[in-house]
Amino acid sequence: MSSKILDDMCDVMRLHQYSIQHTERSYYDWIKQYIQYQTMTCREEEPINGKAKIEAFLTLLVVDKEVSLPTQNEALDALVFLYPFRLHESD
């Protein structure tokens, strides 16, 4: 089912004419990693304590994978694309 999430994401990005070479590939990779991290099966399956889990994922990137701040921000941008407007709501 995660491939359905990723396929839908690519369709929306192409509809809005995002750059396939950079943005689409980047977001695809980050969202795929996040889906695997959360073991999600559908987009509506937002994790309980979503903000905390997103923060945990971003922290994992910095602490364990030692990514730079711009790379962490790119991952966050991808997650904001996955969950439009939901990240700003209270858990």
CATH number of the CATH domain containing 38: 1.10.150.130
- pTM assigned to the model: 0.71
Residues 6+ apart with CB under 8 A from 13: 20, 23, 24, 27, 81
Please give the residue range of the domain that contains residue 26: 2-88
Number of domains composing the chain:
1
On the CB side of 86, how many CA atoms lie within 13 Å of its CA?
18
Give 2-43 pLDDT, tens digit per residue: 677 777 777 877 777 777 778 888 988 898 899 888 877 665
Residues 6+ apart with CB under 8 A from 37: 57, 60
